[in-house]
Amino acid sequence: MEPLRRFFRKYGWRYIPGVIFLALSSWIQTLGPMALGNAIDLLEGEDPQLEAVFTQAGWIVLIALGTFVTRFIWRHYIIGNARNLEVSLREDLFAKLQSLPVSFFNEHKTGDLMAYAINDVGAVRMTFGPATSMMLTGVGVGTFTVLSMGVAVPAKLMIWALLPLPVAIAAVYFIGKQVRRRFTRVQELFSAISGRIQESISGMRTLKAFAREEEEIDAFAPQNEEMQNANIQLADVSSLLNPIIQVIFGISFLTTLGLGGNMVYRGEISLGDFVAFHSYLTMIMSPIISIGRIINLLQRGMASYKRLNAIFELPSIPDFESGEMPAQDIDGAIQVRNLHFSYSGTGPEVLSDISFTLEKGKVLGIVGPIGSGKSTLISVLTKEYPVEEGQVFFGGKDIRAIPAKALRETIGIVPQDSFLFGCSIEENIQFYQPGATHEDVLQAAHLSGLDRDLAQFPQGWKTIVGERGSHLSGGQNQRVAIARALIRKPSLLILDDCLSAVDTGTEAAILENLKTQMEGTTAIIITHRLSAVLSADEILYMDEGRITERGTHAQLMELDGDYAKLYRQQSNQEGEEAGI
């Protein structure tokens, strides 16, 4: 069931006391002018009595207290509930995003998804909180005011005085529309100009390297000016709203004074009624001014609600909720039989006819040019993308029968983009094994060669890595990611071209560590540098989604194909340098 409906089933009842107290509050509010009018009548009449005046003053205070209490209660139910809705929607959204397949994130920018969490959730809150209460208050106050007016003065005065109001409502509606349009434009320009500033500052090193910062400054000017003009245009139209309402109400006041004054003069109504009527007219003004805002909030809320629902309705990963399966059922040889794969199911094949067997404890190397399908193969093996039945097996079990969660519990992966979280180095390493001891962290950091750089970290292992690891060098990022994968001693280790930013000496040391310390771990190593896979039990050479060559290093050299050519290119360079 969609989250919003679920929320209302659970908390929707709160709107009932909310609305009741809101109506009460509106009604009590409209009593105010009447009490004041009565007091004035008393004072103006012959021989006013102190007790009677006291009673009216008491009413004025009591009405204020009544308004205070009822308003407090309805705000607690309606506005408080909207906050509750906001928090609950955001959490549902977070959980929903977690359950979506990786392809969803490839198609959506982080910034766009953030807009759901910030703007859309916020807009829905505004609709169900402030906009709802403003609307109800407007209706309540409006109705009660008009009713009270009817009691206070003859219909003739009321009708004449209220006659201009439809014009006011129409003005609010049309000007409001203009304001919204120009406001949207200002917002768009603001985000455009912010984006530009962000880009210019982020790219400043590049601009400076080419000494083109002055041109960048000049290029900024038109956008800046556009923003200035859009803001002025917005102010021009929004500056109309209040004055126009004021003038239209001015006509109402003119009628009240002229017509009503004469009525009092002729004794048709009392002075108190006249004064009360005047106050009512003032009271009805603010709900009318807020009509534009209410419409705006409702529209935005509805649009946001639709956008959010589109996300909530997306299908989750099939076995996202389930996940228990004993690790030994998964442990064992990996078999891939005639695997064909394309991202959309019908599009061009990214993997064609892939077959191999990786025995437990053996090392598989995968090499090949960019775009040959190496990383896609890893995504298939980690169940990031679903495959047809009968193509991939873990320990003899079809991958489709293994829940993704259970499968991933056994895999330690170092992805190409290492992605660290903005916490400390130690916390990043502990990520895969919460509750791991400091010794475990040290051990993993040693295996990944990260401890070589310990001296460079100002706070040691507690050093914060910065947003996405930005305080560390590329090589350090990669080694933290390796340590993160190793800490759990996974039964399958996958290294996806994760040593590219590490210098050769360090790379050698890491590979040596892995060889000696991780004995018995099944491993898949993807790399551009062949040095990393020389001792692999089998090497696959992939090109355009197919395995074109396979075998041990020696066998592949003997085959004298693409692998051998690549090897010679790399080793020639190194070899010549070595003088061999």
Interaction residues for another protein, span 162-221 (CB under 8 A): 190, 193-195, 197-217, 219-221
H or E element in which residue 571 lies = helix 562-578
Shortest separation between residue 93's beta carbon and another protein, angstroms: 9
- Backbone φ/ψ region at 196: left (φ over 0), alpha (ψ -120 to 50), beta: alpha
Shortest separation between residue 13's beta carbon and another protein, angstroms: 18
- Cα 26 from Cα 468, distance rounded (Å): 52
Using CB under 8 A, pick the residue from 19, 53, 333, 436 that binds another protein.
Answer: 53
The one-letter amino acid code at 531 reads: S
Nearest to 487 by CA among 545, 435, 525: 435
Q: Are the C-beta atoms of 89 and 116 separated by less than 8 Å?
A: no
Is 535 an interacting residue with respect to another protein (CB under 8 A)?
Answer: no
Q: Which is nearer to another protein, 447 or 530 (CB)?
A: 530
Pinpoint the alpha helices (H) of 413-561.
425-430, 438-447, 474-486, 504-517, 553-559
CA dihedral 401, 404, 406, 410 (to 10 degrees): 110
Shortest separation between residue 338's beta carbon and another protein, angstroms: 26
Is 255 an interacting residue with respect to another protein (CB under 8 A)?
Answer: yes
- Cα 108 from Cα 174, distance rounded (Å): 36
Is 505 an interacting residue with respect to another protein (CB under 8 A)?
Answer: yes
Using CB under 8 A, pick the residue from 159, 232, 310, 327 that binds another protein.
Answer: 232
Is 493 an interacting residue with respect to another protein (CB under 8 A)?
Answer: no
Using CB under 8 A, pick the residue from 7, 8, 11, 253 that binds another protein.
Answer: 253
Is 561 an interacting residue with respect to another protein (CB under 8 A)?
Answer: no
Using CB under 8 A, pick the residue from 504, 515, 555, 560 that binds another protein.
Answer: 504
Q: Which is nearer to another protein, 369 or 390 (CB)?
A: 369
Shortest separation between residue 107's beta carbon and another protein, angstroms: 12
Shortest separation between residue 14's beta carbon and another protein, angstroms: 13
Q: Which is nearer to another protein, 151 or 578 (CB)?
A: 578
The interface region with another protein, picked from 9-17, 140-148, 388-396, 530-538 by CB under 8 A, is: 530-538
Q: Are the C-beta atoms of 566 and 366 separated by less than 8 Å?
A: no
**Paired strand residues for 411:** 492
Q: Give me the 107-136 binding string for another protein, x by CB under 8 A, dash otherwise.
A: --xxx-xx--xx------------------
Nearest to 571 by CA among 535, 529, 540, 542: 529
Is 534 an interacting residue with respect to another protein (CB under 8 A)?
Answer: yes
Using CB under 8 A, pick the residue from 31, 240, 436, 559 that binds another protein.
Answer: 240
Distance of CA 279 to CAs 73, 145, 146, 196, Å?
A: 26, 10, 12, 51
Shortest separation between residue 269's beta carbon and another protein, angstroms: 11
Using CB under 8 A, pick the residue from 2, 44, 558, 560 that binds another protein.
Answer: 44
Is 431 an interacting residue with respect to another protein (CB under 8 A)?
Answer: yes
Q: Are the C-beta atoms of 444 and 486 separated by less than 8 Å?
A: yes
Using CB under 8 A, pick the residue from 297, 425, 445, 530 that binds another protein.
Answer: 530
Shortest separation between residue 325's beta carbon and another protein, angstroms: 12
The interface region with another protein, picked from 6-14, 385-393, 436-444, 523-531 by CB under 8 A, is: 523-531
The interface region with another protein, picked from 170-178, 262-270, 286-294, 443-451 by CB under 8 A, is: 262-270
H or E element in which residue 341 lies = strand 334-341
Indicate the SS3 state at residue 274.
Answer: helix
Angle at 441 between CA 437 and CA 442, to 5 degrees: 115
Using CB under 8 A, pick the residue from 63, 149, 179, 336 that binds another protein.
Answer: 63
Helix, strand, coil percentages in the chain from 3-state DSSP, rounded to 5: 65, 10, 25
H or E element in which residue 110 lies = helix 110-115
The interface region with another protein, picked from 164-172, 293-301, 327-335, 496-504 by CB under 8 A, is: 496-504
The interface region with another protein, picked from 2-10, 14-22, 135-143, 527-535 by CB under 8 A, is: 527-535
Is 435 an interacting residue with respect to another protein (CB under 8 A)?
Answer: no
Q: Which of residues 446-465 bind another protein (CB under 8 A)?
A: 456
Q: Which residue has the tokens 């890491």?
A: 510
Q: Give me the 361-400 binding string for another protein, x by CB under 8 A, dash otherwise.
A: --------xxx----------x-x----------------
Q: Are the C-beta atoms of 182 and 231 separated by less than 8 Å?
A: no
Distance of CA 255 to CAs 142, 244, 285, 566, Å?
A: 19, 17, 16, 94
Q: Which of residues 79-98 bind another protein (CB under 8 A)?
A: 79-80, 83-84, 86-87, 90-91, 94-95, 97-98
Distance of CA 221 to CAs 16, 122, 185, 197, 230, Å?
A: 54, 33, 18, 12, 14
Q: Are the C-beta atoms of 53 and 43 separated by less than 8 Å?
A: yes
Q: Are the C-beta atoms of 132 and 301 separated by less than 8 Å?
A: no
The interface region with another protein, picked from 4-12, 15-23, 252-260, 340-348 by CB under 8 A, is: 252-260
Is 344 an interacting residue with respect to another protein (CB under 8 A)?
Answer: no
Is 503 an interacting residue with respect to another protein (CB under 8 A)?
Answer: yes
Is 346 an interacting residue with respect to another protein (CB under 8 A)?
Answer: no
Distance of CA 134 to CAs 184, 297, 559, Å?
A: 22, 10, 79
Number of residues that bind another protein (CB under 8 A): 162
